[in-house]
Structure 1
């Protein structure tokens, strides 16, 4: 199996996205929040998503529930749940999606 590097690309303002690894069943993506106040806007998708906070602090809203997370925290976002986050302190989120998000390729 060969490893293909993926570029870091702009996502929402103040945020970049980089696919770390992928296959049709699973994808791992780093979201790097460069500044306090950067916002991952509310959205939903059919993929199940797990999020791991590598660094920084974030306020998430998932299906109407709001909570704060920091380094080492993780959680799962169900399929089609409306979610988004606000960056409280710059850092990186590592998200896994199943199945793969083809729109990120």
Structure 2
């Protein structure tokens, strides 16, 4: 968990979760934010977890799939993947950055920063 207060993306440590995909997190007791940088050519493979996940594309474009539906998303577009639903993403035409929110906190992500 992080101390209450202010946290700045450029000062947060970064961890690579799959090749070409790096995260920075801010986690409280019930909610976690994850800034995700996706290199051109990378992919977050289809996966699922019990956590509810909402996200917002900050820059670049991504192809996102949730269940059987695929969409091309750009800056300002949002998505919601209910817990247990298969989903994944890849950047399109260059790198991308997204902001994900998870409830509850993904303990396996927090453990990467200990």
Instruction: Report the count of equivalent residues.
Output: 103
Partner residue of 1:68 out of 58, 67, 72: 72
Partner residue of 1:92 out of 79, 89, 97: 97
The TM-score, its normalising length taken from structure 1, stands at 0.90
Deviation of residue 48 (structure 1)? 0.4
Q: What are the within-5 Å matches in structure 2 for residues 1-105 of structure 1?
A: 1=4, 6-19=12-25, 21-35=26-40, 37-88=41-92, 89-105=94-110
Question: Relative to total residues, which structure has the larger helix share, 1 or 2?
Answer: 2
Q: Deviations over 1:57-91 (max 9, x none)?
A: 01111011111100010111111100001210311
Deviation of residue 34 (structure 1)? 2.1
Runs (5+) with no aligned partner, structure 1:
none
Deviation of residue 2 (structure 1)? 5.0
The TM-score, its normalising length taken from structure 2, stands at 0.84
More off after superposition, 5-14 vs 60-69 = 5-14
Deviation of residue 3 (structure 1)? 5.4
User: SS state of the match for residue 18, structure 2?
Assistant: coil
Question: Relative to total residues, which structure has the larger strand share, 1 or 2?
Answer: 1
Q: For the aligned residues, what is the CA RMSD?
A: 1.5
Runs of 4+ in structure 1 off by over 6 angstroms are: none
